[in-house]
Structure 1
């Protein structure tokens, strides 16, 4: 390489790199005053998990390069949310929660025409909600969000038929896992439509989950529909159904978001989650929750949220003297750059 070419390429690379980050902090009060100070079920509670405590759910720092045609994204995370995120990682040689604890995303991408290929740890194709709080209508996640993958590891191919229709095919290690605890791989698919007012996606997951005697084929389908009814009112509906061996679970949720003024919005959410055999939540139960969220965006990179949430279960699953139901108040602030 010519001596004068290397600095030019380095400057070009630096101008195309995108540095990102942010802090998601919150305070939550559970009126049941849980004994353990934990308001959510094991393996859930990626925001506002701790009762009567100011905490950092997520502090992020990352760097990315758009695939033109080759790119990448590395995003690290620290806090209570990232700790919950990786708890199900299989403990094996060179993998496990301690190995991957601070990784949100680490992926390579190649784009050519309508085709994009990605490999590595990347956001899940399943569900309405993101692990990034500022991208969600509410502050706490739905049970559907907490009990389905936020991330996945493997290969993803995306084909854009036109500006509205696209399809994805995934070859994955498993269900929200970086390491693999069995000999099988999983397949995921998505067919999506993105219109001016209506957007919809149908997502699937098929693959063996568990290890040893518990290993069995998991079949899962997820549907997400959003509709911008007016300039101020948006609606979202989600539905899930899954089966593994003889275990069955299914859920449905609805969201209504009203933009009251330029910086102010209100979102109401209602959801029912039926875990008939306790495979997903750990207890055979039906969970129901209702959430009301007030959002204020005083600046482009700052989102403030205040939220009231009420949860019920058909079993005594919440860790508190009163056990169930429970009511939670939370305030959160997310600053990004």
Structure 2
């Protein structure tokens, strides 16, 4: 699978390079920056160290995904991205290739991972995004996107550099999907109101395993400059019924961002989901939660962020245990050089069930404390 992905990626790169040269109306420069700009090339590197105060023999930080390894240095992500924005009446593209520990957990089913596979043992290479954009010259520009793209749900994303914290929260890990494959159509009615409608294979599915497609809608509002909101909805058939069949899954996701001052940002994220016939008793399974974020920029070189979350996995279908989980995370940020970010972090998780490990036992504690140091570089 890895070889097939890399061959496909190389083919796409060659096509993009050929297209870029064909479109060039005047002689292109030969410098590194000229080539980088011509291809829309960027590189991202992310890694860190995570320490669990219990020093568990299992080596696991429970209820974590990307940062699940305790007391270990980890190469989280090594990404290469080729990107071209589509102008009105033009074509754009995005190709994102990922490698590292994080790449194991963002595979779409049918592309690097299969139903029932252990993500921790999967391929550390992932074709994260590969899509083509076309903006039709209708009104303000009707955008069509076809291919594989990251989800519009949630307040956090795969790359830590674009989040407030180094670790990802409970809602990102368990409440929402990572990527979709299909078609999305978007239109900005004004600077304050826009919509996206999409038809996709489902949650993290490259190959659709449900009996019908999943439909999604995103409504973006910016009533004033300091306030923005995104309302996301998805509904479709997904594998996950207690009888082994596919069932209906609905997700509602809301993200509200408030910037009362230039250097202060508040974010609130709420999720609610229900899947029919997926609970252990054969009934509807539900999960929901809320997260709050606050970040303050003290200067151009230093910021600090705080995140607090509550997640209710009412039937245990997302975390494996019917439980109510909370976490609080404090993350200073140091921008020590151009495009280089360093984030130390302290995080405390706790549950109403025994969901965490002590040193010599598994799942015998109700809380977990970790500290981490994350490093991110963009080129």
TM-score normalised by structure 1 residue count: 0.90
Indicate if the aligned counterparts of 1:114 and 1:161 stay in contact, CA closer than 8 A: no
How far did residue 210 of structure 1 move?
A: 0.8
Gaps of 5+ in 1: 1-5
1:111 aligns with 2:135: yes
The structure 2 residue matched to 1:160, chosen from 188, 211, 217, is: 188
Aligned counterpart for 2:44 among listed residues 12, 18, 22: 22
Give the Å deviation of 1:234: 1.1
Q: Which residue, 258, 265, 281 being the options, matches 2:319?
A: 281
Of 14, 22, 45 in structure 2, the residue corresponding to residue 9 of structure 1 is 22
Structure 2 partner of 1:293: 331
**What does the per-residue CA deviation read over 1:285-305, in whole Å, with 9 as the maximum and x for residues that have no partner?**
111000000011123411111
Alpha-carbon distance in 2 for matches of 1:54, 1:8 = 41
CA shift for structure 1 position 11: 4.4
Paired position in structure 1 for 2:16: none
Is residue 294–residue 306 contact of structure 1 (8 Å, CA) maintained in 2? yes
Q: Distance between the aligned counterparts of 1:83 and 1:166, measured in 2?
A: 34
1: distance between equivalents of 2:20 and 2:181?
35
Q: 2:233 aligns with which of 198, 204, 210?
A: 204
1:181 to 209, 228, 233: 209
Residue 135, structure 1, aligned to residue 162, structure 2? yes
- Per-residue CA deviation, residues 54-101 of structure 1 (Å, 9 max, x unaligned), is 111010012122223111111100011111222765638xxx996894
- The question of whether the paired residues in 2 share the 8 Å contact of 1:17 and 1:63 is answered with yes
Give the unaligned 5+ runs of structure 2: 1-18, 29-34, 277-283
How far apart, in 1, do the equivalents of 2:162 and 2:177 lie?
A: 16
Q: Which residue of 2 aligns with 1:332?
A: 374
- What SS is found at the alignment partner of 1:134? helix
User: Superposed, which structure 2 residues align to 1:3-82 within 5 Å?
Assistant: 9=22, 11=24, 16-41=38-63, 44-46=64-66, 48-68=67-87, 69-82=90-103
* CA–CA distance in structure 2, aligned partners of residues 99 and 329 of structure 1: 27
* SS of equivalent residue, structure 1 residue 45: coil
Task: Give the CA deviation at 1:336.
Answer: 0.8
Instruction: Report the CA distance between 1:182 and its aligned residue.
Output: 2.3
Moved over 4 A (4+): 10-15, 87-90, 96-101
| SS, match of residue 26 in structure 1 | strand
Deviations 1:265-306 (CA, angstroms, capped at 9, x unpaired) = 111111100010111222111110000000111234111111
Whether the aligned pair in 2 keeps the contact of 1:252 and 1:272 (CA below 8 Å) is: yes
How far apart in 2 are the matches of 1:225 and 1:22? 27
**CA shift digits 1:303-322 (9 cap, x unpaired):** 11111000011122224435
